[in-house]
Amino acid sequence: MSSIEYSGLFVVLEGIDGSGKTTISKMLVDRLNGLGFKAEYTFEPTDSEIVEVVRGKYSEYRDAYVDALTFALDRLLHLKRKVIPLLRAGFIVVSDRYMYSSVAYQAASGAPIEWVLLVNKYALKPDVTIYLDVDPETGLRRKQFKATRFPEFEVIDFARRVREVYLELVKRGLMISINAARPIEEVYRDVEAVVLNALSKVPTP
C-alpha cells in the first residue's frame, strides 16, 4: 500500500495539541473547494470501534506499543475505507494527523522511534506533510477551554517530549516545518503556499 496510483493529492498536517492543525486543515479544505478543486477533510485517530474498544474495555492494558498497533490498524482501515477512494477520485485529502502523530506520541510514551516507523512502514506516504511547530506552553494554553478526545496526552512534560520527536522527524526530512506560534492567518498563508506549490506539480489528467 506504500505505493498506489491515484490522481488526487494527500496532504497531512501534524503538530502537538494546540498547534492549529484542525482549524488550518478546515480552512484549507474550504479554500481549495472555493478554488474549484475537490477537497475533503479527515482526521486520525478516527472514531472507529477499534480505537474506542482499546481506550475503553482494554484501557488497563494500554501502553506505547498497544497504542501504536491500535492506531496503525485504525490507519489501515481509514486508508482503505476513505482516503484511497477519495484520492483515486481526484480529491485533495487533508488529514488532521496521520502516521507521524503515532511516531511522535508513542515514542514520547516509551516506544522506540524506529519501531513505530517500522510498524507504519507500508502505510501510504503523504504527498505533503506539514508540521505546525509551537512550544507546548502556547499549545496547551490554546487548548485549555476546548474539548479534547485524548486528555491523557495533554500534559506539559509529555507535550515537550512529543515536540522533540516531531523536530527529529523534521530533521530527517520527513515533514516541512512551519512556525505556528504566529497569528492563524499568517500560519495559514504559509500552509496554503506549500500545498498550492505541490498542486502545481501534479500532472493533469
Q: How confident is the model at residue 149 (pLDDT cuts 50, 70, 90)?
A: low
Chain CA centroid to CA 44, Å = 7
Q: Which of 80, 95, 18 is nearest to 50 (CA)?
A: 80
What integer pLDDT is reported at residue 55 of this predicted model?
A: 87
The amino acid at 25: S
Over the chain, what is the mean pLDDT? Answer: 92
Grid coordinates standing for 193?
A: 503556499
Taken in order 1, 105, 130, 175, is the CA torsion positive or negative?
Answer: negative
Distance in angstroms (rounded) separating the CA atoms of residues 153 and 158 = 7
Q: Give 28's Cβ-side CA count (13 Å radius).
A: 32
Neighbours of 125 (CB within 10 A): 16
In contact, 132 and 14? CB cutoff 8 Å: yes
Distance in angstroms (rounded) separating the CA atoms of residues 90 and 37 = 9
Strand partners, 41: 94
65, exposed or middle or buried, with CB in 10 Å at 0-12, 13-18, 19+?
middle
Q: How confident is the model at residue 4 (pLDDT cuts 50, 70, 90)?
A: confident
pLDDT in tens, 109-123: 999 999 999 999 999
pTM of the model: 0.92
**From the candidate CATH numbers 3.40.50.970, 3.10.20.30, 3.40.50.2300, 3.40.50.300, the one assigned to the domain spanning 9-199:** 3.40.50.300
What residue ranges do the domains of the chain occupy? 9-199
- State mean pLDDT over 50-63: 91
Going by C-beta distance under 8 Å and a sequence separation of 6 or more, which residues neighbour residue 193? none
The amino acid at 24: I
pLDDT in tens, 75-86: 999 999 999 999
Residue owning grid cell 506549490: 197
Q: What is the 3-state secondary structure (H, E, C) of 129-153?
A: EEEEECCHHHHHHHHCCCCCCCHHH
What integer pLDDT is reported at residue 118 of this predicted model?
A: 97
What integer pLDDT is reported at residue 20 of this predicted model?
A: 94
Dihedral of the CA atoms 115, 118, 119, 125 (nearest 10)?
A: 140
